Structure 1
Amino acid sequence: MTLLNESVREAAQRSVLGWLATVDAEGQPNVSPKEVWAIADDEHVVLAHIASPVSARNIALQPQVCLSFVDVFVQKGFKLKGSAHEVRAADPAFARWATPLLAMVGQRFVIQSVLVIRVTSVVTIVAPSYRFYPYETTEVSQVASAMRTYGVQSLKEES
């Protein structure tokens, strides 16, 4: 069974940010937002190291990581755990891993290196309402609630 299945891929595409958790040499956690990331294949996620010196340094010391992402409107997402390594621009493997990221950034950012995660576990993230009020909580109701909370209007309403 593929860990990074279609539902994980769809949720990843709807998520604006991923949150990468790493650990430093003293065991202190670090969580960093990642704007440019993609599912590369059935077992790997790639993240652009644009301004991530702490994440890259921590991965070099301790490769175990966790990447979480949530669609803020539906309030569902995934937590991906695995081991990571850094692939620098001079490495022959850089082109393979950087391709989806370069397509995303164009000329906007310089990708210093790629953080490659080999995913070993995938866990669903859902807002508590789905668990505590399963008969009244739907994706539609969650989207409506989030839109009210954030003051967002759909494009249909604006027309």
Structure 2
Amino acid sequence: MSPVQALLTDAVCEAARRSVLCWLATVDAEGQPNVSPKEVWAIADEQHVVVAHIASPVSARNIAQHPQVCLSFVDVFVQKGFKLLGRAREVLADDTEFATWAKPLLAMVGQRFTIQSVLVIQVQSVAAIVAPSYRFYPDDTTEASQVSSAMRGYNVQAVEKDKP
């Protein structure tokens, strides 16, 4: 048997680290989509992403009915990210697996939030997300130009780092 190919590569992990939020898309029993921002999430290993169910009853209910999900994240300054498709399941707080899956999430929240359960996503495919400028104007578009444009658009100024 051949080993499972790592879908969550170093590039995906680095992009995830730079993203503040992810967006989890689910669908209910009637086929109605639901997209919900998630602030507490992490790449658990080369095949799994974990999302804290802090206040996500709709996402949890939808996953119980239809486990297919889409999780997307983008670095808003560089304007690149990834779309992950996979199958999700909910691991409840009293489940023996909870401590393992919740570990990276608990490290993020400390005592700030109670994690009701963990939404564990087994990633089945990964696709890049890039702003249209990278495709339509490849000679003029760089990560630096996108960051500069985004900083102007968001009215954000860079913080000068102290010199040693």
Instruction: Give the TM bin, normalised by the shorter chain.
Output: over 0.9
* Cα displacement (A) at 1:156: 1.5
The answer to whether the aligner puts 1:134 opposite 2:141 as a matched pair is: no
Q: Which runs of 5+ in 1 are unaligned?
A: none
Mapping of 1:3-152 within 5 angstroms? 3-152=7-156
* Cα displacement (A) at 1:2: 1.3
Tell me how many residue pairs correspond in the alignment: 159
Which runs of 4 or more aligned residues in structure 1 lie more than 2 Å from their structure 2 counterparts after TM superposition? none
Q: Deviations over 1:92-119 (max 9, x none)?
A: 0000000000000000000000000000
**Among candidates 151, 155, 158, match of residue 154 of structure 1:** 158
Q: Which amino acid aligns with 1:27?
A: G
Residue 66 of structure 1 aligns to a residue whose secondary structure is strand
Give, in whole Å, the separation in 1 of the partners of 2:7 and 2:94. 30
Q: CA RMSD in A?
A: 1.3
Q: Deviations over 1:63-117 (max 9, x none)?
A: 0000000000000000000000000000000000000000000000000000000
Give, in whole Å, the separation in 2 of the partners of 1:73 and 1:24. 32
> Which of the two has greater helix per residue?
1
Residue 156 of structure 1 aligns to a residue whose secondary structure is coil
Give, in whole Å, the separation in 1 of the partners of 2:98 and 2:7. 24
Q: Which runs of 5+ in 2 are unaligned?
A: none
Give, in whole Å, the separation in 2 of the partners of 1:31 and 1:74. 23
Give, in whole Å, the separation in 1 of the partners of 2:126 and 2:35. 18
Give, in whole Å, the separation in 2 of the partners of 1:44 and 1:129. 31
Residue 102 of structure 2 aligns to a residue whose secondary structure is helix
* Cα displacement (A) at 1:157: 8.3
